[in-house]
Structure 1
């Protein structure tokens, strides 16, 4: 199993404390100059360095621009500069990337490769097979998506009450997916945003999931980067 957390918000520190509590790995995707945050909400270089002592740090562009919305040259530079900034901050190589908002096109995949990344995460969910390492799928987002009715129905075996519970409670859906992974094999990938967990008052839900999935003798715990850099 693996987890990842996007954007580089100051609340990533609180999220990291939860991961530590349950002995879980995490990949934190940092956009050092994220234009969507107020200046005081950025994690900042000292915070990034502190996280890097215990977790993987990944690239998320420099400014978190939506790549398809800007010229290709600007997109390539934002990807490159974000990688360089984070590597300078942590004093080490960055091998994992996450597309801002999950938005990208074929040329952006090529740019990520050219910049030296070895994997790139999307926001596609409901998978236990990551697939292409440069368009890696995930399993569950720590957020209640209102488009998840068909998935909830399928996971619940078409039992209406069970489906409603999975649909309304992303933590129940995450646990159901984790149990499916234990049964069938694969990679369980939980991801989210610390600021979003906080805005929705979902810290207790997140901790419930982390407690459930942590400390399993029959589970291999890896960062996103280790999924592609660690041999079987």
Structure 2
């Protein structure tokens, strides 16, 4: 329906958002290593480090005995199913992550990102208690970044590639762009609940971002700003 390209929201408090770019680099590197593995080894990695509800709940033993049961609540966010999955998540992180890192500071942003990843995984787990398939992808953590963005910078302009008749880049307020994204997640959850997409992780991560943003932001960063 649309693809975000970039925003017009400058950073004001940090010189360089190295945590955002570091997360992007680590995620891309992990998937590069994954993609070089034979198919059987690729699948093993997703089983070992993906978030499997029955493993996290200790119904089934951890495939790697030395890995704590809670660890996949974090490690899953650095794995992806394919290149498109990874690149899409990193595109959204690149567009919105620098401003949220700017609003929170480097260390708080890293803690915020990983916390959103954990909450997103727990949201998926809560509605898929007996699932035995691995959850992978940064979507939940990135959704948290998007939730924080819509609360802190709802009026910032985001250029999106919208397909009306032909693809056209259009500047629209972040509130509308991210609101449409959220509406699509809710619609998809209702229309295709059995689809192999972690809708609950997306929604849980987004809600986590909205709730946590006021707690992590700098005092001088106002809510609903970013014009």
Name the TM tier (shorter chain): under 0.3
Structure with the bigger RCO (C-alpha within 8 Å, sep 6+) is 2
The TM-score, its normalising length taken from structure 1, stands at 0.25
The TM-score, its normalising length taken from structure 2, stands at 0.25
Could you say which structure has the higher helix fraction?
A: 2
